[in-house]
Amino acid sequence: MRIRVQEEPFDPGAELDGFGAGADVGAVVSFTGMVRGDGGLSRMEIEHYPGMTEKAIAAIAGEAVARWNLADCLVIHRHGPMRPGERIMMVATASRHRASAFEAAEFLMDYLKSRAPFWKKEYGADGAEWVAARDEDEDALGRW
Amino acid sequence: MRIRVQEEPFDPGAELDGFGAGADVGAVVSFTGMVRGDGGLSRMEIEHYPGMTEKAIAAIAGEAVARWNLADCLVIHRHGPMRPGERIMMVATASRHRASAFEAAEFLMDYLKSRAPFWKKEYGADGAEWVAARDEDEDALGRW
Amino acid sequence: MLDVLYFAWVRERIGEPRETVETGATTVAGLVDELKAREERYALAFSDLSALRVAVDQELADFDAPLAGAREVAFFPPMTGG
Amino acid sequence: MLDVLYFAWVRERIGEPRETVETGATTVAGLVDELKAREERYALAFSDLSALRVAVDQELADFDAPLAGAREVAFFPPMTGG
């Protein structure tokens, strides 16, 4: 299990190198989230809660590993300023079977979205605005 | 859309490099399938139907792109001899949103499994055996 | 003149990956009947059609698909890619 | 002595990221009432508790959570990670 909270960019290809190596791993799923340039967005700033962030992500990742019996699990989440096209975060899961690798990755994303202490502020043509949490994101937790 | 059917190994990290670049892409999902060394498996051989394979994959990928409005889609599938731990295939999807990137990747996997002309033969302690298709794999198509 | 292809265990039972056949069959099922009548190895390979899949000109098809205009027919077990 | 932290627009409304408070409150809700009584900016930040989340010692908690033994309380809007 590898968890990193950082301001610097990261390279998903390099992070996946060697991830899930091992003769009992049949499936690796990765998700990478990027800043979209929708509606004139010029930049984004992500604030987080140092200390709690790492703990919250470790708890979420630990639950994913236990529940889907993952061979490995990776979470990287950036904070600070970012521009459209830049990568915000990634998760990866390694498992015996395809279904569990997919499910665990979606579980990680749903929980990171609503239970890890990050807040996005968008800077666009009309000024700056904190991104509001969406009811669907909270509802998504209900499926797990 | 990038489709490759090949005997040579591939590097998922290198393949993902630059995949889904573009200001309207918010999500990239990748899946990589590996040979597991279960039950004394020493090697595997994948046979395919040259000509039909490429067409079948192009049709499946084309449907995924249209249905989930993907910004990009990648499918690599190997044939020939492989050993435990080696990568068999990968798919990647790039989309505006997370849900569509995940769904499209799972759709691709379900269809590649049952509708692309590949056949696996496993060589283990008890000799060689063609892998039997599972009812669940056929049933999985019903969800799309 | 029709190219007939075999894959996986169908290929192994029949003993060759492809052959060219002269046929008067108008459907895939008719072709299967002609082949089964030829030799024991064909009868064995085609003994359970529910375990087989067929492609006509590289598109999945049914056993009652017409052969008019077809150049290539392939027989194989259910696919196991991914 | 309790460290109280604010994030995102809660931080902006209150005007500082953290402060140390002397409190007699036994629950998070009691602490909120004390803060609201202090100054307008707190009253504004805490005007709609349904729009806020709270963590006690870096664990998500409810507003009726006890403060006994707590060292750090944080207030923030619903999270938007991922």
Average pLDDT over residues B32-50: 94
Q: Do D77 and A133 touch (CB under 8 A)?
A: yes
Minimum Cα–Cα distance from A118: chain D residue: D81
Evaluate whether residue C38 is within a structural domain. yes
Q: Do B47 and C8 touch (CB under 8 A)?
A: yes
pTM (two decimals): 0.96
Domain interval for residue C63? 2-76
Judge if ipTM > 0.85. Answer: yes
- The Cα–Cα gap between A91 and A109 comes to 8
Report chain A's mean pLDDT, rounded to a whole number. 96
Structural domains in chain C (count):
1
Report chain B's mean pLDDT, rounded to a whole number. 96
Q: What is the pLDDT of residue C10?
A: 98
Residue C17 has pLDDT above 80, yes or no: yes
Q: Which residue ranges make up each domain of chain B?
A: 2-131
Q: What is the pLDDT of residue A8?
A: 98
Question: Which residues in chain B have Cβ-Cβ distances shorter than 8 Å to A31?
Answer: 27-29, 98, 101-102
Q: Where are the beta strands (DSSP E) in A19-126?
A: 27-34, 43-48, 72-78, 80-82, 87-95, 118-124
Residue B38 has pLDDT above 90, yes or no: no
Q: What is the pLDDT of residue B105?
A: 98
Cα first-last separation, chain B? 21
Q: Is B116 on the interface with C (CB under 8 A)?
A: yes
Per-residue pLDDT tens over the stretch C29-81: 999 999 999 999 999 999 999 999 999 999 999 999 999 999 999 999 999 99
Q: What is the pLDDT of residue A134?
A: 92
Residue B23 has pLDDT above 80, yes or no: no
Evaluate whether residue C43 is within a structural domain. yes
Q: Do B23 and A85 touch (CB under 8 A)?
A: yes
Task: Give the domain CATH number at D67.
Answer: 3.10.20.30
Judged by DSSP in three states, A37 sits in coil
Please tell me the total number of residues recorded for chain A in this structure: 144
Per-residue pLDDT tens over the stretch D40-72: 999 999 999 999 999 999 999 999 999 999 999
Q: Which residues of chain A have pLDDT under 70?
A: none
Average pLDDT over residues D9-31: 97
Q: CB neighbours (10 Å) of residue B123? A: 16
Do C and B have ≥3 inter-chain CB pairs under 8 A? Answer: yes
Question: Which residues in chain C have Cβ-Cβ distances shorter than 8 Å to B135?
Answer: none
Evaluate whether residue D63 is within a structural domain. yes
- The Cα–Cα gap between B97 and B107 comes to 16
Evaluate whether residue D82 is within a structural domain. no
- The Cα–Cα gap between C48 and C1 comes to 26
Q: Do C81 and B131 touch (CB under 8 A)?
A: no
With residue D53 as reference, give the H or E element that holds it.
Answer: strand D53-56
Per-residue pLDDT tens over the stretch B67-106: 999 999 999 999 999 999 999 999 999 999 999 999 999 9
Neighbours of chain A (3+ CB pairs under 8 A): B, D
Contacts of B85 (CB under 8 A, 6+ apart): A21, A22, A23, B34, B35, B37
Q: Do B85 and A34 touch (CB under 8 A)?
A: no
Do C and D have ≥3 inter-chain CB pairs under 8 A? Answer: no
Per-residue pLDDT tens over the stretch A10-50: 999 999 999 998 879 999 999 999 999 888 899 999 999 99
Report chain D's mean pLDDT, rounded to a whole number. 97
Q: Give which of A131, A136, A64 is closest to A100, Cα–Cα.
A: A64
Provide the CATH topology of domain B2-131: Aldehyde Oxidoreductase; domain 3 (3.90.1170)
Q: What is the pLDDT of residue A40?
A: 86
Neighbours of chain C (3+ CB pairs under 8 A): B
DSSP state of B134: P
In Å, what is the CA distance from B133 to each residue of A94, B100, B120? 23, 27, 10
Q: Give which of C18, C12, C16 is closest to C44, Cα–Cα.
A: C12
Q: Is A87 on the interface with D (CB under 8 A)?
A: no
Contact B122, B35 (CB under 8 A): no
